[in-house]
Chain A
């Protein structure tokens, strides 16, 4: 069996990398205009979404092809609570946040119960979650009395509680920054702990993990639910900051994009998901500015190139080159 060597960054390098990345992001408001600030804020929310996928796919090797479902449910939960139910501004967005994340968690638990507990793994899980994304998008388009149909819902108010309204762009930026930092550190801490080791064992050999007394289904369902909740959190925040929701937010294209973000960074590395999102989003803007039709084509080519050229992510190429240089320096000393 061919095993690709993944760079094992020690805690120190990981924390140093995270520090550089987050300090860099924190300095952004001082140097960029209002438009760029808003787009960096959105990219950080997408990065949060990418982290949520990486949490599950990265650690279990099971790919969810419908992760936008959970992002979208978070966004729609927020929009329905504030716009459709017309809850007062003081309480609406808190209820919306709760509704969106709870619905996503419930759905993920249900999917987990039906599929994971039913023994569905690997490619079958992927295809079923892909259908989930289709189902969600069709529901959002078809159930127009609640979801606003094709045009979605507009006028989602800013996040707020009581008198406090998060309308200031710089304040919004730092709230998103803080959430991303907290979730990333949390995910990193959980994954490098005992639970992370059990999940790693499940990826390597689930039967063995089960034999050692771990309820593997329970672990997988739990992680999937957690992952969906984080995705919904990203979606709900996104809705409050852009002010609208649309069926695209549940759809297959976003599900595809998030896989691309994680894959670019190299799955299994929380930081990689964030860097991947930043790199790919930048690329998307450049390519779409030439012609918006080019982007889906580029995504398609990217996926084909990825499986052949860089199955461990684009960034792994950088690491591999780095490792090669180091090996040269060590005077041709060959490990293995």
Chain B
């Protein structure tokens, strides 16, 4: 019994991590249809923000506030300098953002060294839940993920910014003719995606090794999460994370972690054959 609870809590931790990383991608890839291969590096930047803040004596909560700001500033800069000129050339965006990712990895490694940096969670202990003890930080992670995802959904549903983004996505030319500054909306949406990734980086950092290459681990998985769920919907991100994270936790019992990740990615790729628009997308829709 306690085994089942621990396994499902582990699964929920992984699902939360995937959801956090994929939320930002759901905006950039799912909504804006930009394949940003530097997305993993936005996560890395968030994790390094936490490591730096703690190294200078600040605490976890300060980093949690600071990282999204760093991510937002950085993301908007990238959008203006790089992405904006390439919207009409999807393959060029892939190549340029991949190049950007490589440059960022090397710059981070040059600045902070190749050794993993320490990053600690705000609470150490464990909580007893349903008769089994589970690390408190992981429970916090699950909770804050639910809060962040709900918050994002609310922003898109109820704020003017959310409305503008949805309008621009649906029909950019029409949105512009109605007086929406589409360039600004794109910049802010890209920045928001990067901010979410950086936030995810802070939350993940205490559970993993903070190294310059950490982002690549999340890159392909989060793309599959967004694709499986059906691009452009927050419910889709939840469904995609549930499938990828759930299966991976399940397979982890039977085989090494690297193999189970590989198997899940292969299954996800196969799924695209039958549901090219994702589980929640319409099967007959345009692609």
Point out the residues of chain A lying under 8 angstroms from B105, CB to CB. 296, 300
Interface check A299, CB cutoff 8 A: yes
- With A115-B272, A131-B223, A142-B259: A300-B106 Cβ-Cβ less than 8 Å: yes
* With A131-B220, A138-B258, A299-B102 as contacts: A307 and B95 at CB distance below 8 Å: yes
Given contacts A138-B262, A143-B259, A296-B102, contact A128 B269 (CB under 8 A): yes
Is A135 an interface residue, CB under 8 A from the partner?
A: yes
Distance (Å) between the CB of A113 and the closest chain B CB? 8
Known: A142-B262, A252-B216, A296-B105. A118 touches B276 (CB 8 A): yes
Establish whether residues B94 and A63, one from each chain, have CB atoms under 8 Å apart when the complex forms. yes
Among candidates B90, B103, B269, B276, residue contacting A304 with C-beta atoms closer than 8 Å:
B103
Which chain B residues lie closer than 8 Å to A122 at the CB level? 90-91
A127 CA / B216 CA spacing, docked (Å): 13
Q: Interface of chain B, helix or strand or loop or mixed?
A: helix
Contact digits for A279-319, partner B, Cβ 8 Å, 1 yes 0 no: 00000000000000100110111111011100100000000
Which residues 109-150 of B sit at the A interface, judged by CB distance below 8 A? 109-110
A75 on interface, CB distance cutoff 8 Å: no
> Could you say which residues of chain B place their CB within 8 Å of the CB of A217?
none
Q: How far is the CA of A143 from the CA of B255 in the complex (A)?
A: 9
Chain A interfacial residues counted at CB < 8 A: 45
Query: How far, in whole Å, are A128 and B220 apart by their CA atoms in the complex?
Result: 8
A275 CB to closest chain B CB (Å) equals: 20
Whole-angstrom distance between the alpha carbons of A130 and B90 in the complex? 15
Are the C-beta atoms of A127 and B265 separated by less than 8 Å?
Answer: no
Given contacts A252-B216, A303-B98, contact A114 B262 (CB under 8 A): no
Alpha-carbon distance A53/B103, docked complex (angstroms): 24
Among B98, B106, B262, B268, which residue has its beta carbon within 8 angstroms of that of A297? Answer: B106
Q: Smallest distance from the beta carbon of A83 to chain B beta carbons, Å? A: 21
Asked if B85 lies at the interface with its beta carbon under 8 angstroms from chain A, I say: yes
Interface residue? B279 (CB, 8 A): no
> How many Å lie between the Cα of A127 and that of B39 in the bound state?
13
Secondary structure of the A side of the interface? helix
Tell me if A165 is interfacial: C-beta within 8 Å of chain B.
no
B99 touches A126 (CB 8 A): no
Q: Once bound together, how far apart are the Cα atoms of A285 and B5, in whole Å?
A: 54
Q: Which of chain B's residues have a CB closer than 8 A to the CB of A259?
A: 95
A300, B102: Cβ atoms closer than 8 Å: yes
Q: Is the CB of A304 within 8 A of B94?
A: no
Complex contacts, B207 vs chain A, CB 8 Å: none
B266 surroundings in chain A (CB, below 8 A): 135
Closest chain-B Cβ to A121's Cβ sits at a distance in Å of 9
Tell me if B270 is interfacial: C-beta within 8 Å of chain A: yes
Taken together as a complex, chains A and B put the C-alpha atoms of A325 and B259 apart, in Å, by 56
> What separation, in Å, do the CA atoms of A111 and B269 have in the docked complex?
9
Asked whether, in the complex, the Cβ of A303 is within 8 Å of the Cβ of B265, the reply is no
State the Cβ distance, A319 to closest chain B Cβ, in Å: 20
User: CA of A114 to CA of B229 in the docked complex: distance in angstroms?
Assistant: 18
B223 touches A127 (CB 8 A): yes
Question: Which residue of A117, A135, A141, A308 has the most chain B CB atoms within 10 A of its CB atom?
Answer: A135
Kindly identify which residue among A128, A132, A296, A311 contacts B272, using a CB–CB cutoff of 8 Å: A128
Instruction: Please encode chain A, from 100 to 131, with 1 for each CB lying within 8 Å of some chain B CB and 0 for all others.
Output: 00000000000101110111101110111011
**A7-51 vs B, Cβ < 8 Å mask (1 yes, 0 no):** 000000000000000000000000000000000000000000000
Q: Which chain A residue has the least Cβ–Cβ distance from B260?
A: A142
Cβ-closest chain B residue relative to A134: B220
B92–A307 CB distance below 8 A: yes
State the CA gap A259–B95 with chains docked (Å).
9
Q: Closest Cβ of chain A: how far from B132's Cβ, in Å?
A: 29
- Name 7 extra pairs, CB < 8 A, besides A118-B273, A126-B35, A252-B216: A115-B272, A115-B273, A123-B93, A128-B272, A300-B103, A301-B99, A303-B98
Question: 8 interchain pairs (CB within 8 A)?
Answer: A65-B94, A115-B272, A115-B273, A131-B268, A252-B216, A300-B106, A306-B99, A307-B95
Binding site for B on A (CB under 8 A): 61, 63, 65, 111, 113-115, 117-120, 122-124, 126-128, 130-132, 134-136, 138-139, 141-143, 252, 256, 259, 263, 293, 296-297, 299-304, 306-308, 311
